[in-house]
Amino acid sequence: MGLRSYVVKRAIYSVILIFLVITINFAIFMVKSPMEMLASGKKLRPIQIEELQRRFGLFDPLHIRYLKYLQNLLTFEFGYSYRTGRSISEEVVSRLSNTLTLCVTAEFIALAIGLILGVIAASRRGGITDTLSSIFAVITQGLPVFWIGMLLLLIFAYNLDWFPLGHSYPPEWAIHGKPDNFLIELAIRLQYLFLPALTLVIITVGAYVLLTRAAMLEVLSEDYLVTLKAKGVSNTKILFKHALKNASLPIVTEVAIAFAFTLSGALVTETIFTYPGLGMWIWESIEKWDYPALQAIFYIVSLCVIAANFLVDIIYGIIDPRIRYG
């Protein structure tokens, strides 16, 4: 099977998975009537309830409702928020961009640090560097997200006043607008992004360190690396160019898993830092039983995870052509 056929096959799998996600999403939200959510805490007359049921198509047969639901999600028509009255599609754009900026930034930094520490630890197996790296990885993996976030806020935002306490930009921008200078705007946004991203880096970097170390230990004893060393190739080049490349397959898989974990960790992180992303939106929507918003959020998060896995599958096939024939 060539690369093109492999990509088509993975694309078909991803499409099937999207339809399964939509079906499960539909089934989950049918367990509790949206009318119960909408009318929660409100005194509605029977005629008002009947009118709302007609407006939301709740009198239609189940299969008709499913087909309409399928069409709306595939065209990104999510309706309007019960909480704000705004179009959910418009809110998704700003919220998703903030969350992806946060999660992708944290993922790249954690991956870079994890690869470097993992390679160094494997090359110095049993030494002090290996021991400290492993201890660091195990500890950071076990720390609660909310505790890390609150500790960073206490130290760097409250006590030292180096970073803002929350949000993604200064509140005065909503009144006076953004700075005209792009570099100044970028610097300010990075200042607001730093602590939430650092929180996510801390909880994900440990997995990369341990996995890289384990993968590297399997290839460091290979004969071709001994040959390269005998030819006078530098140790750094052997480790990072040759050994790491052949040890990268499990690491690539971990990237997709860690991305999904980072998205879920963003719920707590964004709530702590009042960062206006999907995670913060989930919390607000759960509090107010915002039924359409929750449907949209779960669908969008699922799409992000499916897209990340699809991308990783393609990279997997490029790195190791044998995967295409599996």
Average pLDDT across the chain, whole number: 82
Q: Is the pLDDT of residue 324 over 70?
A: no
Closest by alpha carbon to 277, among 208, 205, 204, 199?
199
Domain boundary assignment for the chain: 92-321
pLDDT score recorded for residue 18: 92
pLDDT score recorded for residue 44: 63
Pull the structure tokens for residue 195.
């602590």
The residue written with tokens 């056929």 in the block is: 5
Contacts by 219-226 with C-beta closer than 8 Å and gap 24+? 219/243, 219/246, 219/247, 220/122, 220/123, 222/246
Q: Is the pLDDT of residue 60 over 80?
A: no
Closest by alpha carbon to 285, among 81, 27, 122?
81
Of 21 and 178, the structure prediction assigns the larger pLDDT to: 21
- In a 3-state reduction of DSSP, which class is residue 131? helix
Structure confidence by residue, pLDDT tens digits, 177-213: 788 888 888 888 899 999 999 999 998 898 899 988 8
pLDDT-based confidence at 153, cuts 50/70/90?
A: very high
Structure confidence by residue, pLDDT tens digits, 163-172: 988 888 888 8
Of 233 and 19, the structure prediction assigns the larger pLDDT to: 19
Rounded mean pLDDT, 240-267: 77
Of 59 and 12, the structure prediction assigns the larger pLDDT to: 12
Contacts of 266 (CB under 8 A, 6+ apart): 99, 102, 103, 200, 277, 278, 279
pTM, full prediction: 0.79
The residue written with tokens 């700075």 in the block is: 179
Read off the DSSP letter of residue 103: H
The CATH number of domain 92-321, selected from 1.10.3720.10, 3.40.1190.20, 3.40.640.10, 1.10.287.3610: 1.10.3720.10
Residue type at 257 in one-letter notation: I
